[in-house]
Amino acid sequence: MIYDRSGMHFPDHKKYILENRLARRVEDGGFENYEKYINYLKHDAGREKEFTYLFNIITTNETFFFRDTSQLQAFESVALPDTVHKLKTKGSKKLRIWSAACSTGEEPYTLSMIVADRLSMPDYKDWDIEIHGSDISDGVLSSARRGEYNDYSVRNVSPQHLTKYFSKNGDGKYAIKPEVKKVVRLSNINLFDDSALRMYKGMDIIFCRNVLIYFDDASKKKVISSLYNSLVSGGYLFIGHSESLFNISRAFKLVNVNNVLIYQK
Ligand SMILES: C[S@@+](CC[C@H](N)C(=O)[O-])C[C@H]1O[C@@H](n2cnc3c(N)ncnc32)[C@H](O)[C@@H]1O
């Protein structure tokens, strides 16, 4: 059921991960045992809500600001300027970027900061910028909406960026400044849900990093093909640096930026 709904694949040797994560939910939800829990997920009127809990529990949400700087440099030095140039040539100032498994928000907010750096004032305010952040887990999306982070999340942020784009709260947390936050739109999107993805069209750049590792090849093919359809022609796709589209898709052109591979439609 988890696989059919989300594409997440737990092979036999990783079943213990599922068991560790679900045992508490089975107990707290008063389901007595896994069989009762499965029946509930199959037949009960409350099953949609329960799946929301389930995905909150079983997903791995590790992320941090400015994760994988070499990829972000490729974004800043090639994908973003090329996109901006192409849009300007078309007479458009509407830029659409999507962080398609954004966890607690560090990735879309990082992209928002880089875009603000790159399209600096006064030009920046003439642009209509949308940075979409989406995830299957409501739990992480609520944290992303709060936009407050601890030292660990900001460990890779330069002192300049920390001062420019964060303010320190009374409780020691780093809060994202409103100008970075306001271009980021957060929503619950399951990458395995074709109909939801069909609504996401015309993206200039998509980041889908460190989520393909939880899918098997069949799920990867399905998700990558949907993301391909969501991109504009010439648009860029970033996947995690340890992930690859080898045997998954031949639809993209590979662009090598200082040994960072990015995919172009
Ligand atoms: C390890 S985090 C990656 C966060 C960020 N992209 C990064 O690289 O730092 C993986 C995220 O993928 C999300 N995820 C897993 N399966 C998903 C699906 N089918 N649709 C959307 N998001 C999914 C998880 O909830 C989790 O927040």
pLDDT in tens, 143-172: 999 999 999 999 999 999 999 999 999 899
Per 3-state DSSP, what percentage of the chain is helix, strand, and coil (rounded to 5)?
A: 45, 20, 35
* Closest to 129 measured CA to CA, from 119, 141, 138: 119
pLDDT at residue 93, rounded to an integer: 95
Distance 258 CA to ligand 1 centre (A): 26
- Categorise residue 179: left if φ over 0, alpha if ψ from -120 to 50, beta otherwise: alpha
Provide the whole-model pTM: 0.96
pLDDT along the chain (265 residues), means of 10: 94 92 92 95 96 94 97 98 96 97 98 94 87 97 98 97 95 96 97 92 98 96 97 98 95 97 97
Distance 102 CA to ligand 1 centre (A): 6
99 Cα nearest atom in ligand 1 = 6
pLDDT at residue 120, rounded to an integer: 77
Q: Closest residue (by CA) to atom 5 of ligand 1?
A: 102
103 Cα nearest atom in ligand 1 = 27
Say what the alpha-carbon torsion angle 188, 190, 194, 199 is, to the nearest 10 degrees.
Answer: 20
Q: What is the Cα–Cα distance from 125 to 109, expressed in whole angstroms? A: 17
pLDDT at residue 125, rounded to an integer: 87
Q: What is the Cα–Cα distance from 172 to 170, expressed in whole angstroms? A: 6
